[in-house]
Amino acid sequence: MAMRRPPQRPQQSFTRINHRIRVPEVRCIDADGEQVGIVSTRDALARAERQGLDLVEVSPTAKPPVCRIMDYGKFKYDQEKKSKSQKKHAAATKVKELKFHANVDTHDYETKVRHARDFLESGNRVKCSLFFRGREGAHQELGFEVMNRVLEDLKDLANPEQPPRLMGRSIIMLLTPRPSTKK
């Protein structure tokens, strides 16, 4: 019987504040950003309490640790906002999928290639899938011809991350935009 592991908590970085700072002396930075110097932790904490703020350990690995006098709640709120905005502005590339069939008509093919062009120009990856229905699977070379034609038509915009490959009853290809085409 396999042993079950207890669920793991997400790792958090713990910032020591106020009375949780257990070193005898710290390098203190005032609320205005001015260096106070190396003082005892008790004196730095008293200075923070006089100003109605918290003593926050900002660099625990330094010798002695660096502590700053600040409003910890506001500091934490600003950090969360910053991390959320970084996630929002991260270049998350999406994968757009286009589905083909072996007997695709010319107009349908051109429309799908035009869509692929738009996706690649906007910096998205494109997954091209070609499905074989019924007895179409007997003529897989027709499917590879369509996929190679797509690859040829988009060679100015895309690099094949994954060339056309048969997977079951379908052929799958993944295209990534060339570096010069991203907006």
Averaged pLDDT in 10-residue chunks for the chain of 183 residues: 63 73 89 88 90 88 89 88 80 83 92 94 91 89 93 91 91 89 48
Residues 148-154: contacts with CB under 8 Å, at least 24 apart: 149/109, 150/100, 150/112, 150/113, 150/116, 151/175, 153/113, 154/113, 154/116, 154/117, 154/120
One-letter identity of residue 91: A
Helices vs. strands in the chain: H and E counts, helices first: 4, 8
In words, the CATH class of domain 95-181 is alpha beta
> Do the strands 54-59 and 66-70 form a parallel or antiparallel pair, or are they unpaired?
antiparallel
Whether the Cβ atoms of residue 170 and residue 131 lie closer than 8 Å to each other: yes
pLDDT of residue 181: 45
pLDDT at 151: 93
CA dihedral 68, 72, 75, 79 (to 10 degrees): 110
Architecture of domain 18-76: Roll (3.10)
* 18-76 and 95-181, same CATH topology: no
- Angle at 97 (CA atoms; ends 131, 100), nearest 5 degrees: 30
Please state the separation of Cα 154 from the chain's center in Å. Answer: 27
pLDDT on residue 11: 52
The CA–CA distances, whole Å, from 59 to 40, 64, 172 equal 16, 9, 50
- pLDDT in the model for residue 107: 95
Q: Return the domain boundaries, the chain.
A: 18-76, 95-181
